[in-house]
C-alpha cells in the first residue's frame, strides 16, 4: 500500500498520522522543522503548543470538555499525552508543554508505520492520498500553492498572538495569592490584584504602548478567541474587567473582598517554575511589554522567559471547499486538518485530524465512513466548517451552540450542558470507531 502523505506535525497532523498508523496504514509524515522554523516556534518537537499551555476546560459541562472526552474514546494520541503530562490548573487541562511535545514526538518517531521526512513542503503531491495539516503557520510557498489550488475562492489570513511567560520566583507573592475562580478544583492560579487607581494607570499605558510592526494587521482581522490584550483594551476602559482581568469569584484573602481587577497566571510547566499571563496575548514591542506589565504590582520585578509574539494565521473558506470529512469537494484524495480548516483551538485541531484520518482509513479499507452525528462535538464541528449556508465564515471554537438542543427543559445551564454531553457520549457509543 502506498503511504498516506501527512503534511505538518502539529496537533492535527500528529493525530492524523497516529490514527492511520494504528490501523496498519503506512504514513509519510512531512515536517519542515527543524530545518525551517517560524518566529512562533521554539522547539523541534512535534505538537508544539504556541499560544498557551492550556487545553481549556476538562469538565463535561463545557463543550471543549466534551470534545476531549470524545477524543479519548477515539484513542487519541494527543489526549493520551496531555493526560500523562498535565499540570494542575483548576478545572482546566493544562500541560507541561515541553514534556507533552516530547511525548508526542517519541510516539510518532518510534511507530513502525510512520516515516518522518524533514524539510519544507512547497508543493502538494499530485497523486495519492494527502492530509494537509500545515497549520496556522503555513509557510508562504505552501500557502501560495494552496491558494492556486482554489483560484475561485477566498483564501484567508488572520493574526494570532501568544502570551508572555514569567518565572515563578520573580512574582511578588506578597502582592498575590493562589486560588481558582470560585474555589473550583485546586488553587492553581496566581492572582495578581489591581486597585481601581492601579488598573486605570495600567489601562492607559496599555492602550498607548508601542506595537511591534506587523504587516497587514488590522483590529478587524483579529480572532476574538486569541485577541491581543492591547486591542481588547482599546475597545473600552472597562472591557478587560469583563474579560481576562475580571475579579468575579476571586476574593482577596487579605480583605475578603473582590479586587477591582485581577490578572491571573497559570502554571506552564510541571515544575511550576514558569507561569503564563492568562489572556495577555500581545504584539507590543518587547521593551513595552516589560514596561507596561511591570505596572501590575505582583509583576513589578517579573523575569520574562518569553515575551508575547504576533504571527499570521491562515485558514480556508472551508464551507465552500471541504465536506464533513475535511475532504476537498471533488478531489477527495486531498484532505485538510487543523486550524487551516477554520477550527480554532488545540483540541479542535486534534479533532479534525482524528476525524479526517478515521475517514481515510475506512475508505482505504473499503468500509463506509463514520458519520459523527451533529449531537457529538466532533460531528458538530465538522458540520460547521463544511456548511455551505455559512456566509461570513470565521474560525470557531467548539461550543454548545453548534450542537442541537435537547428538546426538553433542564433547569440550570450546567445541568443542561451536562445532559447534552451525556447524550453526545451515548451517541458516540453507538458508533463503530475501529
pLDDT score, position 46? 96
| Average pLDDT score, the chain | 91
Q: Say if residue 262 is in the same domain as residue 379.
A: no
Specify the number of domains making up the chain: 2
Residue 184 has pLDDT above 90, yes or no: no
Q: What is the DSSP string of 27-60?
A: EEEEE-TTTS--TT---SSSS---S-SEEEE-ST
- Domain identity same for 32 and 54: yes
Task: pLDDT band for 138, please (50, 70, 90 cuts).
Answer: confident
Minimum mean pLDDT range among 187-196, 217-226, 310-319: 217-226
pLDDT at position 370 over 60: yes
Which CATH number does the domain housing residue 209 bear?
A: 2.40.30
pLDDT (mean) for 172-195: 93
Domain boundary among 307, 341, 376: 307
366, 421: one domain: yes
- Residue 224 has what pLDDT? 59
Higher pLDDT, 36 or 9: 9
Residue 218 has a pLDDT of: 44
Same domain, 74 and 180: no
Please say if the pLDDT value at position 318 is more than 80: yes
User: Are 330 and 274 part of one and the same domain?
Assistant: no
Q: Are residues 95 and 172 in the same domain?
A: no
Lowest-confidence region among 32-36, 194-198, 367-371: 32-36
Nearest C-alpha neighbor of 282 from the set 218, 211, 215: 211
Q: What percent of the chain has pLDDT over 90?
A: 74
What sign for the dihedral angle of Cα 301, 302, 305, 309? negative
At residue 136, does pLDDT exceed 90?
no
Better pLDDT: 83 or 139: 83
Q: Assess whether pLDDT exceeds 70 at residue 434.
A: yes
Residue 434 lies in a domain: no
Residue-level pLDDT at 395: 85
pLDDT band of 90, cuts 50, 70, 90: confident
Q: Which helix (H) or strand (E) covers residue 14, if one does?
A: helix 11-22
In angstroms and rounded to an integer, the radius of gyration of the C-alpha atoms of the chain is: 22
Work out the pLDDT band at 219, boundaries 50, 70, 90: very low
- CATH code of the domain covering residue 397: 3.50.50.60
Range of the domain at 270: 164-307
Whether residues 177 and 191 share a domain: the answer is: yes
Q: Which of 39-43, 62-66, 407-411, 423-427 has the lowest mean pLDDT?
A: 39-43
More confident site: 135 or 174: 174
At residue 277 the predicted structure's pLDDT band, cuts being 50, 70 and 90, is very high
Residues 169 and 142 in one domain: no
Measured CA to CA, the distance from residue 277 to residue 280 in angstroms comes to 6
Task: With cut-offs at 50, 70 and 90, classify the pLDDT of residue 225.
Answer: low
Which residues, 6 or more positions from 415, have their beta carbon under 8 angstroms from its beta carbon?
Answer: none
Distance CA 18, CA 6 (A): 10
Q: CA–CA separation, 108 vs 104, rounded Å?
A: 6
The verdict on 204 and 336 lying in the same domain is no
Average pLDDT over every residue of 389-412? 88
In percent, the amount of the chain with pLDDT more than 70 equals: 96
Cα gap 403→106, rounded to integer Å: 35
Confidence of residue 293 (pLDDT cuts 50, 70, 90): very high
- Is the same domain home to 276 and 326? no
Q: In the listed set 266, 281, 307, which residue is the last one of a domain according to the structure? A: 307
Residue 279 shares a structural domain with residue 410: no
Same domain (yes/no): 27, 137: yes
Mean pLDDT of 176-186: 89
Average pLDDT in the 127-145 region?
Answer: 90
Q: What is the band of 175 on the pLDDT scale with cuts at 50, 70, 90?
A: very high
Amino acid at each position: 500500500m502506498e503511504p498516506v502523505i501527512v503534511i505538518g506535525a502539529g496537533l492535527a497532523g500528529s493525530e492524523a498520522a497516529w490514527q492511520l498508523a494504528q490501523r496498519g496504514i503506512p504514513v509519510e509524515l512531512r515536517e519542515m522543522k527543524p530545518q525551517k522554523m517560524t518566529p512562533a516556534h521554539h522547539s523541534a518537537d512535534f505538537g508544539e503548543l504556541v499560544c498557551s499551555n492550556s487545553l481549556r476546560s476538562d469538565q463535561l459541562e463545557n463543550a471543549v470538555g466534551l470534545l476531549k472526552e470524545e477524543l479519548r474514546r477515539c484513542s487519541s494520541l494527543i489526549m493520551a499525552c496531555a493526560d500523562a503530562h498535565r499540570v494542575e490548573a483548576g478545572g482546566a487541562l493544562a500541560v507541561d508543554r515541553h514534556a507533552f511535545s516530547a511525548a508526542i514526538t517519541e510516539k510518532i518517531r518510534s511507530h513502525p508505520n510512520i516515516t518522518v521526512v524533514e524539510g519544507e513542503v512547497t508543493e502538494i503531491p499530485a497523486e495519492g492520498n494527502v492530509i494537509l495539516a500545515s497549520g496556522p503557520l503555513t509557510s508562504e510557498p505552501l500557502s501560495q500553492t494552496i491558494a492556486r489550488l482554489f483560484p475561485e475562492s477566498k483564501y484567508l489570513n488572520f493574526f494570532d498572538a501568544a502570551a508572555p511567560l514569567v518565572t515563578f520566583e520573580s512574582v511578588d507573592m506578597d502582592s498575590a495569592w493562589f486560588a481558582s475562580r470560585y474555589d473550583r478544583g485546586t488553587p492553581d492560579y496566581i492572582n495578581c490584584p489591581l486597585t481601581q487607581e492601579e488598573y486605570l494607570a495600567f489601562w492607559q499605558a496599555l492602550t498607548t504602548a508601542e506595537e511591534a510592526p506587523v504587516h497587514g494587521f488590522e483590529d478587524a482581522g483579529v480572532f476574538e478567541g486569541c485577541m491581543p490584550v492591547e486591542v481588547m483594551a482599546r475597545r473600552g476602559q472597562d472591557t478587560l474587567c469583563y474579560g481576562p482581568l475580571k475579579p468575579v469569584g476571586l476574593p482577596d484573602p487579605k480583605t475578603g473582598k473582590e479586587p477591582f481587577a485581577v490578572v491571573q497566571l497559570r502554571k506552564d510547566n510541571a515544575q511550576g517554575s514558569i507561569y503564563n499571563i492568562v489572556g495577555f496575548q500581545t504584539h507590543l514591542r518587547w521593551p513595552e511589554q516589560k514596561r507596561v506589565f511591570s505596572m501590575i504590582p505582583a509583576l513589578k520585578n517579573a523575569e520574562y522567559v518569553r515575551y508575547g509574539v504576533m504571527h499570521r494565521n491562515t485558514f480556508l473558506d472551508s464551507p465552500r471547499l471541504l465536506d464533513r470529512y475535511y475532504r476537498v469537494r471533488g478531489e477527495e484524495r486531498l484532505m485538510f486538518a487543523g486550524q487551516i480548516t477554520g477550527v480554532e483551538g488545540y483540541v479542535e485541531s486534534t479533532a479534525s485530524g482524528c476525524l479526517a484520518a478515521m475517514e481515510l482509513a475506512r475508505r482505504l479499507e473499503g468500509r463506509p465512513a463514520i458519520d459523527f452525528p451533529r449531537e457529538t462535538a466532533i460531528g458538530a464541528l465538522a458540520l460547521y466548517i463544511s456548511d455551505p449556508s455559512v456566509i461570513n465564515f470565521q474560525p470557531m471554537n467548539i461550543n454548545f451552540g453548534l450542537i442541537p438542543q435537547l428538546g426538553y427543559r433542564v433547569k440550570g445551564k450546567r445541568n443542561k450542558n451536562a445532559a447534552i454531553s451525556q447524550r453526545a457520549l451515548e451517541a458516540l457509543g453507538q458508533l463503530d470507531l475501529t
